A and B are shown apart, each in its own frame.
Chain A
Amino acid sequence: MKAIEKIIAKIKPIFSKGGSLAFLHSTFDAFETFLLVPGTVTRKGSHIRDCNDLKRVMIVVVIALVPCLLFGMYNTGLQHFLAMGPRTELPEFFAVFWYGFLKVLPLVIISYVVGLGIEFTVAQIRGHEVNEGYLVTGMLIPLIVPVTIPLWMLALAVAFAVLIGKEIFGGTGMNIWNPALLARTFLFFSYPAYMTGDKVWIDGFTGATPLAAWIRGTSSAVMPSGTDMFLGFTPGSVGETSVVCILLGAVILLYTGVASWKIMISCMAGAALTGLLGDIPVHYHLVMGGFAFGCVFMATDPVTSPQTETGKWIYGALTGALTMTIRLFNPGYPEGMMLAILLMNTFSPLIDHTVVAVNVKRRIKRIATYG
């Protein structure tokens, strides 16, 4: 620990103003603060500060995503072997996981390398500190794409999400849309053949996700059972099939208070109520496709969701309702979650504006009654 501190103190002048590598200041700073908590002290205002910071918040979300990631790796292997032959030939657990691991790992690496590369470059150009926001986005993106996606396509989507989704607005905290969803939307509209959900498993097998099967009117007899969909042993994007793992993540997010329970509850309620209009049971909708994942990890993004508590109820309910509306009444594209969240992201400043306006009126009225 002391040794690291010494090394950093020694090489710091090289990266500081006037040093030979001063142009890499932001990069150095990012690595330095990553390794060691900065020794900066408060200047004015509150002399003491809570030890919670954005790095901590972001790492909690990444931890909450780990169950989904691990399960996604296993499921990738499982779906592969299921497609290759009869169930009896299924290799042992570890081999299945290892197969999936080798398939998913490149996605994670590409997502982080490309995304962080852009973040570092932009921070460098602006002379800012590197934001932690991409730690989460970089993990989300590989989880919401099909595992067979070509890596160049993923890299392109990541670049689009980071540059257009975040950096042009000023970085983490300033963006309007959830960057991870933007990446998926980019892929969906640019390369629909890979993304529509009905060609998820091209690697030796072309099968349908439950959602795609349902939308095509396949009878519910051939659809996976509700239990299978809940546990996640179905085809789908890497991290969004297992509702169990998603719920595990939800528990972590809710306990730590990083995500809003109001959004999750109202989103589910909105979806369930609208789902009643359809012909398949509501609980199928809640475990099918990307709904659960979106509801827990995407809709609750504190930057792109409303900041007022009342606003969160409205936003969540509308997101859920809109998802089901798209699923039920839109013949082209079965998965409504992505577009529903992005649309509600667009509207969240408006929702907030309304809630704040009501608050302002209430306060003026209250002051008036007190004379």
Chain B
Amino acid sequence: MGACYKLRRGLDIPLRGEALTTTSPPVSSPLYELKPPDFRQITPKLLVREGDPVLAGSPVFCDKDHPEIFFTSPVSGIIRQIVRGEKRKLTGIRILSDGKDKRLRFPVTAPEDMDVSKIRELLLFSGCWPLITRRPYGTLALPGEIPKVVHISCFDTAPLAPQYDYAFAGEYDSLQMGLRVLERLCPGKVHLALSGNTSTHSVFRKLNATTHIFSGPHPAGNPGIQIHHLYPLGKGQVAWTLTPMGLSVIGRLFIQGTFDSARMVAVTGPALIKTGYIRCPAGIQISALEDFTRKKGIDIRVISGNPLTGDSVGEEGFLGFHHQQVTFLQEGRSRELLGWARPLRLHKFSAARTYISHLAPLLGKTVRFNLDTNTNGGVRAFVLTRDYQKVLPMDIFVSFLIKAILAEDIDKMEKLGIYEVIPEDLALCEFICPSKIEIQDILQKGINLMIKEMQ
């Protein structure tokens, strides 16, 4: 057991609509979608055509730059539609499920008996490799590299995020198997980060790996924050991160010999009447989750992922490859007379002390807010930059980094810590920004620029 890191800076947004700890019976949707934009910085190369039959685990596309990385179908059926966006960019491959869940079989034995290169090959071929994310930049892990560390955060502090203790309660075997696989790939480098609140009965306490304890408000659960405190990354250094979900999918590959992307998904949000958990594979059509009734008569935004970093997927959208959460938010198009000048505005949450609702987090879980998608103000230049530091437990000056990115100054970006952050780490800065600057978007552009320049 490693040291305990108590982080004080951060913010738990008191958002209404946390998932109840009840699990709905599993459902299946007729259509599933595999979305290349879920994977940062890849150039997809299609391996199938419309009408081709696929099994769960059959390759659908690969990365042009690393053709050994396959992205595979989550279900069995036929390729129904290749969806293209602007400039014919590949945005989705829709698969019509045959409902039979036939899976491609991979030859597996205990990872300790397998050659490391064979393990790597199996992960690449089965479609499990994209579950491993690489720092810096949050892109896919490269097959040829050996990271400094493999880091797995075993709790999620994002607003309305699934409680991992509940979601992974029955997954000890697959999680432990996943750890064994990674231990073979990167011996002695696998670290787990647990929450100070992780219960003593939690499955994560039983896992056999080096653990560290973190406590504090969001973003304490982000791997980026934890890595910053445990083993900060400099130029040329690489860490791999996985979610427990990725770990269990890899574990199941080595237990069952199949690619099984099923995960417990927390269905959450203030626009729902009934929330809860449901088990389903990646790429399921969110409209199939009928068990979770929505509020009537309001305009709803469907988000795959959490409200800070997730993707707005629309009414007919699909669950993202990495996502374990679906959030339903009310669209905030309603207008309020002289809203900014009203003294109380008790229904609106602000972390800033200019509103009395900043006191709400002190009252614990009793006071929750129905936050909608309104920007609550227009875009302005940087004015109050100090507030960013209050929600980022890192030794990084956010406004200076963002300004360096806007100026496209590679040298400064490097020095100010672009290797250590990905957009999700600065999501709270964007949330609290009184100038309504799209910090995550700017950071992603900076990362894209770094990748381009460093090639």
Q: How far is the CA of A309 from the CA of B436 in the complex (A)?
A: 22
State A307–B401 Cα separation when bound (angstroms). 12
A88 sits at the interface (CB 8 A): no
Binding-face segment, B64-72, B88-96, B115-123, B382-390: B382-390
Residue among B352, B385, B417 making CB contact with A50, cutoff 8 Å = B352
Kindly state whether residue B42 has any CB partner on chain A within 8 Å.
no
Q: Is there contact, CB below 8 Å, between A360 and B427?
A: no
In the complex, B287 has a CB within 8 A of chain A: no
Residues in chain B near residue A170, CB distance under 8 A: 381
With A39-B332, A367-B233 as given contacts, are A52 and B376 in contact (CB-CB < 8 Å)? yes
A4 located at the interface, meaning its Cβ lies under 8 Å from any Cβ of chain B in the complex:
yes
**For B375, what are the chain A residues with a Cβ–Cβ distance below 8 Å?**
38, 40-42, 49
Q: Within 8 Å of chain B (Cβ to Cβ): is A281?
A: no
Nearest B residue to A258 via CB reads B354
Interface flag for B318 (CB, 8 Å): no
- Is B378 positioned at the interface, with any CB of A under 8 Å from its CB? yes
Q: How far is the CB of A130 from chain B (nearest CB, A)?
A: 10
Question: What mask results when residues 334 to 371 of chain A are scored 1 for a CB within 8 Å of chain B, else 0?
Answer: 00000000000000000010001001101110111011
| Cross-interface CB contact of A40 among B345, B350, B374, B432, cutoff 8 Å | B374
Of the 9-residue stretches A55-63, A180-188, A210-218, A267-275, which lies at the interface with chain B?
Answer: A55-63
User: What sequence of 0s and 1s flags, for each residue 348-361 of chain B, a beta carbon within 8 Å of any chain A beta carbon?
Assistant: 11111111010000
List the B side residues contacting A54 at CB < 8 Å: 377, 380, 383, 434-435
User: Is B371 engaged at the interface, CB distance under 8 Å to the other chain?
Assistant: yes
A126-148 Cβ-contact flags toward B at 8 Å (1 or 0): 00010111000000000000000
Instruction: State whether A56 touches B336 (Cβ < 8 A).
Output: no
State which of A36, A59, A173, A255 has its C-beta within 8 Å of the C-beta of B381: A173
Judge whether B340 is part of the interface by a CB distance below 8 angstroms. yes
- A46 interface residue per 8 A CB criterion: yes
Does any Cβ of A come within 8 Å of B438's Cβ?
Answer: yes
| Complex CA distance for A257 and B357, rounded to whole angstroms | 14
A77 at the interface (CB under 8 A from B): no
Residue-wise, chain B 329-341 has the 8 Å CB interface mask toward A (1 for contact) of: 1011111111111
Size bracket of the A interface: 35 or more
Within 8 A of B (CB), among A306-321: 307-309
Q: Which residue of A lies closest to B334 (CB)?
A: A39
Residue of B nearest to A132 (CB): B380
**Given contacts A37-B339, A56-B355, A48 and B307 within 8 Å (CB-CB):** yes
Q: Is the Cβ of A47 less than 8 Å from the Cβ of B352?
A: no
The answer to the question of A330 belonging to the interface, with a C-beta cut-off of 8 Å to chain B, is no
Chain A CB within 10 A, most for which of B339, B340, B433? B340
Separation in Å of the A179 CB from the closest CB of chain B?
13
Evaluate contact between B354 and A256: CB separation under 8 angstroms: yes
Number of interface residues of B (CB under 8 A): 78
A residues in contact with B82, CB < 8 Å: none
Distance (whole angstroms) from the CB of A54 to the closest CB of chain B: 5
| B333 A37 Cβ-Cβ under 8 A | no
Q: A56: which of B233, B307, B378, B434 is its contact (CB, 8 Å)?
A: B434
Evaluate contact between B310 and A172: CB separation under 8 angstroms.
Answer: no
Check A53 against B373 for contact (C-beta < 8 Å). Answer: no
The CA of A134 and the CA of B415, in the complex, are separated in Å by 35
Tell me the nearest residue of chain B to A255, going by C-beta: B353
Complex CA–CA separation, A45 to B433 (angstroms): 12
Known: A41-B373, A363-B395. A48 touches B335 (CB 8 A): no
Q: B416 contacts the other chain (Cβ, under 8 Å)?
A: yes
A133: chain B residues at CB < 8 Å are 383
Q: A50-B351, A255-B353 are in contact. Are A356 and B430 (CB under 8 A)?
A: no
19 A/B residue pairs, CB under 8 Å, sorted by A? A38-B335, A38-B378, A40-B374, A42-B375, A47-B329, A48-B159, A48-B431, A50-B350, A52-B354, A52-B376, A53-B378, A55-B377, A56-B354, A60-B354, A172-B383, A173-B380, A260-B386, A307-B400, A370-B232
- Please give the residue numbers on chain B whose beta carbons come within 8 Å of chain A beta carbons, in ascending order: 13, 15, 148, 159, 231-234, 237, 301, 303, 307-310, 312, 327, 329, 331-341, 345, 348-355, 357, 371-387, 389, 395-397, 399-400, 415-417, 423, 427, 430-436, 438-441
Taking Cβ atoms with an 8 Å cutoff, the residues of A that contact B are 1, 4-5, 33-57, 59-60, 129, 131-133, 170-174, 255-258, 260, 302-303, 307-309, 352, 356, 359-360, 362-364, 366-368, 370-371
Known: A41-B373, A50-B351. 9 other contacts (CB 8 A): A37-B377, A44-B438, A47-B327, A51-B350, A51-B376, A52-B376, A53-B436, A56-B341, A363-B396
